[in-house]
Amino acid sequence: MNFIAEIDIMPHKELLDPQGKAVVNNMKHLDLSGIQDVRIGRHVYMALEANSEAEAREKVDIACKKLLANLIMETYSFSLKSV
């Protein structure tokens, strides 16, 4: 079976996000008010094959834990759909 995983990787809320802070600070130059917080992360698209949805979820979870996300500084979540 073929699956598509869409993975979002974000810095922990407790950690400073310098990119997000820079974006918030520059919103005033675009005449955008009321923007209080911006967090910058990554979105990963992954196409994979697995025998079941459970196996696909396990593969994505392992990829996130071991390669895609730095668990000390980041969290991740993903959605999975079969194609």
Residue 12's pLDDT is 96
pTM attached to this predicted model? 0.87
pLDDT band at 71; cut points 50, 70, 90: very high
Q: What is the CATH number of the domain that holds 38?
A: 3.30.1280.10
Residue pLDDT, tens place only, 5-56: 999 999 999 999 999 999 999 998 999 989 999 999 999 999 999 999 999 9
Q: What is the domain range of residue 57?
A: 2-82
* Average pLDDT for 58-81: 98
Residue 24's pLDDT is 94
- Residue burial 43-54, b: 16+ Cβ < 10 Å; e: rest: ebebeeebeeee
Total of domains in the chain: 1
